[in-house]
Amino acid sequence: MHFVPNITFGHPVVESLRKQLGQDPFFDMHMMVSRPEQWVKPMAVAGANQYTFHLEATENPGALIKDIRENGMKVGLAIKPGTTVEYLAPWANQIDMALVMTVEPGFGGQKFMEDMMPKVHWLRTQFPTLDIEVDGGVGPDTVQKCAEAGANMIVSGSAIMRSDDPRSVINLLRNVCSEAAQKRSLDR
């Protein structure tokens, strides 16, 4: 199970969630922070499995990727809507996941930016086995576009939390992504 807590604060949350969930979830910490270098060690110590940072937030992505790996975590690399995939591409072979933001980072409940889909499609074409995640405004109405473009991981907040039946929304989102991934592998 991938669990992507939407938090921008400290690592005690990871420990607390691990205890509460009573299972072994995959913690991807999406660090929407400046100076992401400073949180690598605390997140590793707290038990994070993957550390996702913003390309815009660091001057030395290569050193940060190395540090995350040396701390035993997988690496996610996120780009904001205004950042083109060409900036991410040079790092794509060194990371585990590319995260394409489909809203401006800041808060949930924003409108999905469909014009980010060409970025997802381009990444999927160039890097067929890379995990590609989308975050922002993703729900039953928009997930198909994400999955068809090539995203195999999604972050969804409002669509799940505001639903009367969160479980069925989660299942729908999951099914749409896995069906698209299956179709891609058959087409290859």
**Residues with active-site annotation:** 135
- On the 0-12 / 13-18 / 19+ scale of CB atoms within 10 A, 165 is exposed
Shortest distance in whole angstroms from residue 186 CB to ligand 5RP: 29
The β-bridge relationship of strands 153-155 and 131-135 is parallel
Among 28, 67, 131, 135, binds ligand 5RP (CB under 6 A): 135
Compare residues 83 and 158 and give the one whose CB is closer to ligand 5RP. Answer: 158
Q: How far is CA 140 from CA 2, 159, 162, in A?
A: 19, 7, 12
- Which helix (H) or strand (E) is 119 found in, with range? helix 117-126
Comparison of 151 and 159: residue with beta carbon closer to ligand 5RP: 159
Measured distance CA(109)–CA(89) in Å, rounded: 29
Distance CA 114, CA 9 (A): 29
CB closer to ligand 5RP out of 6 and 126: 6
Number of residues that bind ligand 5RP (CB under 6 A): 17
**Which is it for strands 74-79 and 50-54: parallel, antiparallel or unpaired?**
parallel
Confirm or reject binding of residue 62 to ligand 5RP (CB under 6 A).
Answer: no
Residue 108 assigned ligand-binding role: yes
**Residue 30 annotated as binding site:** yes
| Using rule CB under 6 A, residue 76 touches ligand 5RP | no
98, 103, 143, 169: which one contacts ligand 5RP (CB under 6 A)? 103
72 sits in the region (left: phi over 0; alpha: psi -120 to 50; else beta) called: left
* Among the listed residues 37, 68, 33, the one whose alpha carbon sits nearest the alpha carbon of residue 51: 68
Under the binding rule (CB under 6 A), the answer on residue 138 touching ligand 5RP is yes
Please pick, from the candidates 5, 25, 47, 108, the single residue that binds ligand 5RP as defined by CB under 6 A. Answer: 108
Q: Is 137 annotated as a binding residue?
A: yes
Query: Which stretches of the chain bind ligand 5RP, using CB under 6 A?
Result: 6, 103, 105-110, 135-138, 155-159
Annotated binding site for substrate: 30, 106-109, 137, 157-158
